[in-house]
Amino acid sequence: MKTNAIYFLILTCLLTFTYFFQELKEREKFEEKDRREILFNEKVYGPFLGFELNDAYFFKDRNGQFKTKKNIPISQEKVFKVLNILSGLRVEKILPVGEKKINEDQKLFFPDKEQKITFRFKNKRMVFILGEKLSYSQSFYFKIEGGKKVIFGIAKDVSDFKALYQKENYENSSKRYNRLSNILSLNEKYFINKKIIGNFSKIRKIKFEGVGGEKFSLDLSKNATIPAHFKGLAYSKAKFNVFKSDLLELKGVSIIENWEKKKLARKLVTMNFLLKNKESFKLELFGKYGDQKSFFILKSEPSYLYKINQKSLLPFIVSVQDFWSLNPLKRQDIQKGKGPRVSSLGDSKNLSQKKAQNAFFSLLKRRPYKVSKNKPVKIQSSFPFKASGHSFQIFKTKEELVFFNDKTGISYHYWISGKSLLQSKMERLILSQR
C-alpha cells in the first residue's frame, strides 16, 4: 500500500513537470511569434533614437529623455503614451503587390490626406504611412518606406484600449483605427509640457526670497519653517498642503522660445529648491519681459521661460507666517460659542456690551493678516478684554485692530477695512513692480 502511494506521488510529479515544460514551450513559441510581428523591432534596426511627426522631430538624450531642437520642455508622459500605442501595431499580412499597383489604386488603399510618422533607429530610418481601414475588421492597410525598400501590408493594433463597444459591431469597430489616426495628426504643441514642477516628493527644502525681500525657508520633510513660529503658536498643516497643491498645479499659459535673459526685468520672488538627491533648481518670478508687462517664471536646469496668469501667483506671494496657525483663540473654543467677555470698553462707552461681544467674536473667527512681538506705536484707543481664558489688550490704530496677548506677548493684526490677506499680498506684489 505504501509502495503504491510512492508510485502515485512520482507519477503526479512527472505529469506536473511535463505540463509545466509543455506550457513553457508553448509560451516561448507565442512570444517568438509575437516578436516577429512587432512592426518596429530594435533587435533588427538597432536602438531607437527618435521620431518625426508633422514637422516636429523628437530625439532621445543621454538620459533617455525626449527633446526637440527648440528650447521648450516636452512632456515625457505624453511621448511614452503615444509610443506605447504605436508599439502595439502588429503585421497581419504582407501584400504581394508592387508600388505601381498601389499607386494605381491609391484611393482604395490610402486616404487623400497622408498620415505618417518617421522612426529613426541607429541602423535605419523608417516611415510608417497609415492606410484605409478594412470594412470587415479592425485592421488597416499600411505602407513602410525604408531606404529603397517599400512594404505594403495589413496591420492591427493590439495595444491597451478601453472603450464601450456594441456587441454586434466589435469585430469591425473603427475606434482603435480612429485613435491611431488622431495620434498621427498630433503636432508639437500637444507634446509641450507647460507644467512647471515635476515630482514633488523629491523636494526636501525651499529657500525663499519673497515679496519685499522677505527671506525664509520651508522644510517640507517636517512641515516646518525657518525662522520657526513664535512660542505659543503652531504650524498649519493645512497651509503646507495647500501650498504643495498650488505648486503642483503651477502651469504656464505659454512658453517663450529662444528667450533672452537681458530682456527679463523686475525680479519679484526667487525660490531655490533643494532635492533629496542633493540636486537643486531655481524658480524666479519676473514682472516684465521685453515690452510685455505680465508675470514670467524662469526655471533653471534646464532653463525655460514660462508666461503665467495671476492664478499661478499664489505659491509665490506667501510669507513665512502663512504657514503658521495664527488664530488668537482655539477653533474648538469658537465652535463651542465661548465668545469674548469684555471687561472694559475704553472710548466705546456708547456701544452696548452685546454688540461689542458679537463684533469681537465675529472678528476672532477670522485669521489675522500677521502677528508680531511688538505693540503698535500710533494708538488711537485701547481697552482690555478677556476671551476663553485668555487676557488681551485691544489697540486701535488708523488701519488696524490689534489684539495683544498679555501672556504670550504676541500681537494679532487685523485690517479695519476688512481687506483680505490675498488682497494685501497682491497689493505688495504690484507695488514691488513699480
The reported pLDDT for the residue numbered 160 is: 83
- What tens digit of pLDDT does each residue of 295-329 get? 999 999 778 999 999 889 989 989 999 999 998 87
Which residue has 508600388 as its cell numbers?
Answer: 99
The DSSP annotation for 288-327 comes to EETTB-SEEEEETTTTEEEEE-GGGGGGGS--GGGGEE--
Structure confidence by residue, pLDDT tens digits, 69-122 = 887 899 999 999 999 999 888 888 888 876 666 666 677 788 888 999 999 998
pTM confidence score = 0.74
* Percent of the chain topping pLDDT 90: 40
| 177 vs 100, residue with greater confidence | 177
Predicted confidence (pLDDT) at residue 28 exceeds the cutoff of 50: no
Domain residue spans of the chain: 42-191, 200-323, 327-433
pLDDT at 127: 92
Provide the b/e sequence for 301-325 (b: ≥16 CB within 10 Å). Answer: eeebbbbbeeebbbbbbbbbbbbbb
Separation between Cα atoms, residue 22 and residue 15, nearest integer Å: 10
**pLDDT tens readout for residues 338-393:** 555 544 444 444 445 666 666 776 777 788 989 999 888 888 888 887 766 678 88
| DSSP string of 24-88, one letter each residue | HHHHHHHHHHHHHHBSS-HHHH-SEEEEEETTEEEEE-TTS-EE-SSS--B-HHHHHHHHHHHTT
Give which of 44, 50, 43, 45 is closest to 65, Cα–Cα: 50
Query: What does the alpha-carbon distance between residue 238 and residue 258 come to, in Å, rounded to a whole number?
Result: 39
- Tell me if 346 sits within 8 A of 381, measured CB to CB: yes
Helix-strand-coil split of the chain, %, nearest 5: 30, 30, 35
| Whole-number average pLDDT of the chain | 80
Rounded Cα gap, residues 374 and 83, in angstroms: 62
